[in-house]
A = this chain, B = another copy of it.
Amino acid sequence: MSVAEGKRERTKAANREAIMVAARDVFSALGYGAASVRDIVRRTDLATGTFYNYFPDKESVLRALVDEIAVEARARVRAARMAATTLDGFVADGFRAYFEFLVEDPATVALMRRNAGTIRTMFDEPALGAGIEELREDLEAAMAAGRIPQHDADLMAAAMVGAGVEVGLRMVEREPLDVERAVALVTNVFLGAFERIG
């Protein structure tokens, strides 16, 4: 070979990616439980055996998909919250980052929507939407800094993520698609909550 990567390397990367894309679509369409390794393989132009050169079983593929998504979604949302200077921004920018992610990647939305329950029980709560855990930490930090009133951050984080997920799903299926309208609503809801608690 000459530069960058040899054909060997490129094929490997492409195969792995093809399997993950196919798996994502199959899991979205059939649900993880009903999907078979063969359903996935059939959506690629690879042979059965090849699948097992890349992943030991279908669970590993889901794991890889979820990891990828979780890293991306969490990074975006947290970056947006960290950058915010006002309370309004903390709430609005976090939700906006999340909603924009949903809009950019509908295939991932479909995957999460269909398989959230499986993912939850299989991995014991990673990355529902963008991480209740991290939001709770951010809320606690904000409470400690006196930026928001004292409250049950655990339940509040659940409320914010739950509302965000559901509003996000509703948003993407409405016509016309209006991210700012969704951001405005959830922001009003939770800023109103902080005002009322305080």
Residues of chain A at the chain B interface (Cβ within 8 Å): 30-35, 113-118, 120-121, 132, 151-152, 154-156, 158-167, 169-171, 174, 181-182, 185-186, 188-197
Contacts and interface: CB of A to CB of B under 8 A. Distances in A.
16 contacts: A31-B31, A31-B118, A33-B33, A114-B118, A114-B120, A114-B121, A116-B117, A152-B181, A152-B185, A155-B181, A155-B182, A160-B163, A162-B163, A162-B167, A163-B166, A189-B190
Given A34-B34, A121-B114, A158 B167 contact: yes
Which of A151, A165, A170, A181 lies at the interface centre, i.e. has the most chain B CB atoms within 10 A of its CB?
A170
Contact of A31 (B32, B154, B192): B32
A114 B155 CA distance: 20
A141 B161 CA distance: 27
A132 B170 CA distance: 10
Contacts of A169: 158
Given A31-B33, A155-B167, A161-B166, A196 B192 contact: yes
- Helix, strand, loop or mixed for chain A's interface? helix
Contact of A189 (B34, B121, B159): B159
Which of A132, A152, A169 lies at the interface centre, i.e. has the most chain B CB atoms within 10 A of its CB?
A152
A32 B32 CA distance: 10
Contacts of A190: 189, 193
A58 to B, nearest CB: 11
By Cβ-Cβ distance, the 10 closest A-B pairs, closest first, are A162-B166, A33-B33, A192-B196, A33-B34, A192-B192, A189-B193, A162-B162, A159-B163, A31-B33, A158-B170
A196 B191 contact: yes
A187 to B, nearest CB: 10
